[in-house]
Structures are given as structure tokens and as C-alpha cells.
Amino acid sequence: MSLKKEIQKRRTFAIISHPDAGKTTLTEKLLLFGGAIHIAGAVKSNKIKKTATSDWMEIEKQRGISVATSVMGFEYHDHKINILDTPGHQDFAEDTYRTLTAVDSVIVVVDVAKGVEVQTRKLMDVCRMRNTPVMIFVNKLDREGRDPFDILDELEKELEIKIRPLSWPIEMGERFKGVYNLYKKSLDLFQPSKQTVTKSIAVKDINKDDLEKHIGNKLAETLREEVELITGVYPDFDREEYLAGKLAPVFFGSALNNFGVKELLDCFIDIAPSPRPIKAEERKVDPYEDAFTGFVFKIHANMDPNHRSRIAFVRVCSGKFERNVNYKHVRFDRMMRFSSPTAFMAQKKEILDEAFAGDIVGLPDTGNFKIGDTLTSGEDLHFKGLPSFSPEMFKYIENADPMKSKQLQKGIEQLMDEGVAQLFTHQFNGRKIIGTVGQLQFEVIEYRLLNEYGAKSRWEPINLYKACWIESENAEELADFKKRKYQYMAHDKQGRDVFLAESNYMLMMAQQDFKNITFHFTSEF
Ligand code: G4P
């Protein structure tokens, strides 16, 4: 098969949701359709339980297991599907953000009873930053939930994206009858006891066809009215708008009952993008270019604590990756080749000989990679990755064993390269501050420093509200600011100036007093 055909048949995406909306269940059902797994429950065991904050050892263990399912590849109707898994626990949200740099599109799962939740909104912000095409699956229609029109309004407003329903529910909860599939033009019927769509009836003309026979007079009438309303309110589905990340098609179903999942997948392979060009600092990289390029978007460590082994996950951006071929590690300016790169086919890891743009390759790593590193057979390129967001929790980290300061240094450096958390160094006293999204990350860092690097750490709370990256065209004002706020200034890992605001009030005062300085909450601006 030609390079072009190979790339065109790929669909690389992530499923994202607020915990409990049904991401794991939907993933599993998709894998069942792809024949990648054969029993329900196979994915479940790898799920990171989001509530068990006290039991983070268990979480780490599950994270270890979940490497195998970090990427789930399977073939479906002549397409190669790559689903990138994202951690369920919100303390690892940064992992999810980074994973989103490696996908071409996203499916968002929303619970019909709960609507848009905090985590959905945050993840959507990231999608919007990158104009990632988004499809929405409103889940759990077998349960009572909110009015579908209200849900649509909320999706549009809260996710700040135009939407277009491509299926429409007929009742819900115990009365749930199924959906009218506006994309396929069919009536997909549901029976609670049978898992999957029990009957799909092609509908030529919703106003003329005998829907009554299947759902009764009253529901047929309501359906016609509602579909008329939808077609009146929402413009026709425009694929270009979807591909530009401006419009999200919406499907309704029940992942647990396997209802609406195949329909979602069938539409997905039709409309979702094949690998898209990816922006490097120097230029846009087209997937169909001959030269291989790829970047590391995730590093997974701790798979075997005795060997400090890691896997670097590389998204192939262009061309073809091959085993045992020399590629340039751009940051090191050195050639490297890989004798045992892995592919992830659902539950098993296997050595791969070649991979194409859109695929994810796992490279065994002993500390050579960090997030954002580029490998290439062509020119030197640097991928932009995702900006770091201001962390929400901060702590000083100190060395608790004077004999092991080197180990601690190295441990911190490597863990930060993996993107486990963010490091800031106080400019006036050199103290190190670790910033995270959640408490769990501190515990993971402390444990890993001790177990992988033999370094004991001591942590001290620090009361900070936000870390802001600052910039100004007015060099004088910037210098003045840095002088006046010297006790609040830090450097991030790249040596950029960061202002550590103790409170929202302090930040507002600073913004007011220094009008020519811009305070950014992400590291890229
Ligand atoms: P997540 O990965 O987004 O966190 O969600 P997950 O799939 O684990 O689903 C969360 C809960 O919602 C699970 O129940 C799951 O069975 C249920 N669920 C998912 N889809 C549907 C659906 O279409 N209808 C209904 N009624 N429930 C659904 P749980 O009790 O937390 O887990 P389990 O004991 O079933 O494993």
C-alpha cells in the first residue's frame, strides 16, 4: 500500500470526559467492534479509579498496567484506528493535555443527567486552543436525564462551540426507545434487555415513512416535530466546520448498552480527519512528506522499578518510521536507532517494523528523552507541544539526606522531563518549588524519588495562588517589576521569568500597578 493510502486510512483520537461519564465503557465497546478485545470488562481492569486519592500506590500500579492500553490500535472497515487513552484521575490532567497534542480529533463523552462538568470544560479549552475537531457522545440515555434540547444549549454555551445533532433520542430512561439517526437517516431501536441496536430501519422521508409502526403515533409525531425544530434551528452539518474545530456533531446513546456506539464509530471513520499537518516551530509538517518526523508526547516510567525503565511515546508526524533505521535525536544532535520499538494493539504490546504518520510508537528509553523531543530522518525541527499551565498547588522541595543531593537533583530533573510536574526556582534564594495540579502528584514524586533514585525529599508548604509567566515590551518597567517583586520571582525549567502570586488580590494589584506587563497563565504566548 502506498504511503499516502496508509496515512489516509488512519484515525488517531482520544476519548475525553469528566470522570464517570462513560469514557472507559465507550472505549471498551469500540474495541469490541474492532475485534480488538472479546470480552467486556477487559479495559475496566486498567481503569484508574478517580476517587481513591488515599490509595495512590494502587493508582501507580494501575498506571503501570495501563501502559499496555495507553494506545489501542485496531483495524475497522479498512481503517486503522488509534485510540489514545487518557488518565481518569484529574490529578493527572496534565498527562491528558499532553496526549491531546498527539491526536487528530477527539470524542467527548457527556452524561445526559449531568451535562457539562468541570473536567469536560477544561479539556475542551485545550481542544479549542489547537482547533481539534470534536465529536460529542451524550451517554446514559437508558437513565433519566436532562431534556435533550437543554443539553444541546448547554453544550454550545459551556463548550463554546457550535453544535449539530446527528442523532436524536426518542424518550429516555425506562421509556427510551432509541434514536433517529440524522446522519444515516435511520430509526435505530433499543430494547433494554438486548445489548446493541436491536433494529435499524432506513427512513427515506421522516414525514412520509411509517414510523408509527415502530414507535407508536404519539412518539412518531413528537419525533417529527423535534426533527423539524432541529433542522430549523441548526444549519446542515458542515464537515469543513467540524474539521476546523468550530462545530461539534452530537450523538446520543448508551455506551453500557452498546447503543449508538457502532453508529458513532461508522460516522466517525467517515468524517473524522486522517492525520493532519502538525506545526513545528520552523514550519508546518505535512503527514505525507517522505522524511520521517515524530515527537515525544508522553513518557511512561516505573514499569519495572528495578530497571528504571521508561517508554517514550512518539507520535509519527510525517512519513514512515522503521525499526533499526538511524534517526536524528534533534536536541542531542545525535543519531539513534531502535531495535525494539513497540506498537500497541489493544491489549498487547508487540515489536513493530514500521509505523506511519498518525501512529504511536513506543520507544524503550533510559533517560534520553524528554517531552517534546523530535526524532527525524530529515531536517532539524522542533515541535511546539503544549504550553504548561499554571499549576494549582505548590510546595518547596528540600533534600532530606545530605549524602544524596546529586541523586535528588537527577531525580527531579528526570521527573520534570517526563512532565510529572513543574519546577520553579526562586530567583533570590535558589529554593526549588514543585507545582502540580493535585496532591497526588506530590506523593507520586516523593515515592519515585526515593524508590527510583534513592533520594529522600522533604516538603514544605508554600502559599501560592498562581505562577504567571510575564512579558513586556517595556524593558524598563519589566526590570522595575522584577526588582520590586524580587522575593516573588522564579525561573521555570527553561529559565523564563515567572511571577509567583500569593493571592488573587496580589495579582490584581500587580496587574494594576504594571500596566505594560502581561501576565500569562500558560507558558506559551
Ligand atoms: P469514566 O471512564 O468516564 O470514568 O466512566 P466509566 O466508563 O467507568 O463509567 C462510569 C459508570 O457509568 C460505570 O458504572 C458505568 O458502568 C456507567 N455507565 C457507563 N455508560 C453507561 C450507560 O450508557 N448507561 C448507564 N446506566 N450507565 C453507564 P460504575 O457503577 O461506576 O462502574 P461499574 O461497577 O459498572 O464498573
State which amino acid sits at residue 76: Y
Distance CA 138, CA 188 (A): 16
Residue 254 alpha carbon to ligand 1 centre in Å: 10
Can you tell me which atom of ligand 1 is nearest the CA of 28?
7
Report, as an integer, the average pLDDT of 29-43: 67
DSSP 330: T
Closest by CA to 499, choosing from 473, 452, 453, 466, is 466
Residue 347 alpha carbon to ligand 1 centre in Å: 21
Place of cell 486510512: 9
Residue 339 alpha carbon to ligand 1 centre in Å: 40
Distance CA 358, CA 367 (A): 25
Report, as an integer, the average pLDDT of 300-324: 81
Higher pLDDT, 153 or 96: 153
Residue nearest to atom 31 of ligand 1 (CA): 20
Average pLDDT, the chain: 87
pLDDT single digits (tens) 423-460: 999 998 999 999 998 888 898 889 889 988 899 999 99
Higher pLDDT, 69 or 478: 478
- Pocket lining: 143 vs ligand 1, CB cutoff 6 Å: yes
Of 37-46, 79-88, 147-156, 312-321, the least confident: 37-46
- Pocket lining: 120 vs ligand 1, CB cutoff 6 Å: no
Closest by CA to 9, choosing from 290, 244, 275, is 275
Closest by CA to 399, choosing from 344, 360, 457, 441, is 457
Residue-level pLDDT at 366: 83
Distances (CA, A) of 138 to 17, 167, 291, 307: 11, 10, 40, 43
- Pocket lining: 23 vs ligand 1, CB cutoff 6 Å: yes
Distance CA 256, CA 238 (A): 30
Kindly state the cell numbers that stand for 157: 454555551
Residue-level pLDDT at 447: 87
- Pocket lining: 25 vs ligand 1, CB cutoff 6 Å: yes
pLDDT single digits (tens) 351-375: 889 999 999 999 988 888 988 899 9
What confidence category does residue 309 fall into, taking pLDDT thresholds of 50, 70 and 90?
confident
Distances (CA, A) of 233 to 228, 229, 237, 267: 9, 6, 12, 22
Q: Is the pLDDT of residue 338 over 50?
A: yes
- Pocket lining: 17 vs ligand 1, CB cutoff 6 Å: yes
Q: Is the pLDDT of residue 123 over 60?
A: yes
What confidence category does residue 46 fall into, taking pLDDT thresholds of 50, 70 and 90?
very low
pTM, full prediction? 0.85
Can you tell me which atom of ligand 1 is nearest the CA of 109?
3
Calculate the CA dihedral of residues 443, 449, 452, 455 and round it to 10 degrees: -140
Cα-to-chain-centroid distance, residue 172: 30
Residue-level pLDDT at 54: 41
pLDDT single digits (tens) 124-146: 988 998 899 999 999 999 999 99
**Between the ranges 173-182, 303-312, 412-421, where is the mean pLDDT highest?**
173-182
Report, as an integer, the average pLDDT of 63-92: 75
DSSP 262: H
pLDDT single digits (tens) 234-268: 989 999 999 999 999 999 999 999 899 988 999 99
pLDDT single digits (tens) 142-168: 999 999 999 999 999 999 999 999 999
What confidence category does residue 347 fall into, taking pLDDT thresholds of 50, 70 and 90?
low
The residue to mutate among 256, 257, 258, 263, having the most atoms of ligand 1 within 8 angstroms of its beta carbon, is: 256
Distance CA 166, CA 222 (A): 17
- Pocket lining: 22 vs ligand 1, CB cutoff 6 Å: yes
- Pocket lining: 89 vs ligand 1, CB cutoff 6 Å: no
Percentage above 90 pLDDT, the chain: 60
Residue-level pLDDT at 302: 59
User: For 84-103, b where at least 16 C-beta lie within 10 A, e where not — what string?
Assistant: bbbbbbbbbbbbbbbbbbbb
User: For 187-211, b where at least 16 C-beta lie within 10 A, e where not — what string?
Assistant: bbbbeeeeebbeeebebeebeebeb
**Domains recognised in the chain with CATH numbers:** 7-174+235-271 (3.40.50.300), 278-376 (3.40.50.300), 393-520 (3.30.70.3280)
Residue-level pLDDT at 65: 46
Residue-level pLDDT at 437: 82
What confidence category does residue 32 fall into, taking pLDDT thresholds of 50, 70 and 90?
confident
Residue nearest to atom 33 of ligand 1 (CA): 44
Q: Is the pLDDT of residue 408 over 50?
A: yes
Residue-level pLDDT at 199: 77
Residue-level pLDDT at 50: 43
Of 297-301, 410-414, 443-447, the least confident: 297-301
DSSP 391: P
Closest by CA to 133, choosing from 11, 234, 282, is 11
pLDDT single digits (tens) 195-228: 666 778 888 888 878 888 889 899 999 999 999 9
Closest by CA to 250, choosing from 175, 153, 123, 146, is 153
Residue-level pLDDT at 423: 95
Rg for the chain (alpha carbons), in Å? 25
Residue 16 alpha carbon to ligand 1 centre in Å: 14
